[in-house]
Amino acid sequence: MFAVIKTGGRQYRVVPDDVLEIGKIEGGVGTIVQLGEVLVLGGDTPVLGTPVVAGASVAAEVLQHKRGPKVIAFKKRRRKNSRRKRGYRDEITVLRITEILADNAKPSIGPRPKKEKVAKPADDGDEAPKAAAKPRAKAPAKKPAAKK
């Protein structure tokens, strides 16, 4: 089953477990958000919305909030000694689609549990010891210059 959703003025075709980057939306990292503007529900019998499918939504887990690549807007007018350089970076939210819902259903799948980092075991001296650092030789002291 797939769905076509609209968010941030753009349309996306999504299936469960898709990861996509959209314009920034509200929601903390690890929470489930519902996207309500579903234009098409696909499957065995596709349902087209007029303009949206009534009672349909898409549940997604917020993975990350980040900033997009830098975009430079440079304007120059020839022979006028006029230049303007502006840049910006879009705010982006990374989502993982968890499920596609119909008939005003609520999300049943919660956020995935975070993986815990495994601590590396301490070395018991099985490996060969590293070479000891050689002591540096001192530079000879400078002698004061003789007076004439």
Q: What is the pLDDT along the chain (148 residues), one digit of tens a residue?
A: 899 999 999 999 999 999 999 999 999 999 999 999 999 999 899 999 999 999 999 999 999 999 999 999 999 999 999 999 999 999 999 999 999 998 888 888 887 777 777 777 766 656 666 666 666 777 777 777 777 6
Amino acid (one-letter) located at 99:
E
Reported in sequence order, the residue ranges of 25-132 that DSSP labels E, i.e. its strands, are: 32-35, 38-42, 47-48, 57-77, 82-101
Q: Which residues pair with 67 in a beta bridge?
A: 91
Question: Cα(59)–Cα(105) distance, rounded to whole angstroms?
Answer: 10
Edge-first strand order for the sheet with 32-35 is: 19-23, 82-101, 57-77, 32-35
Question: Cα(24)–Cα(5) distance, rounded to whole angstroms?
Answer: 15
> Model-level pTM greater than 0.85?
no
Question: Cα(93)–Cα(34) distance, rounded to whole angstroms?
Answer: 14
Per-residue model confidence (pLDDT) at position 139: 72
Amino acid (one-letter) located at 72:
I
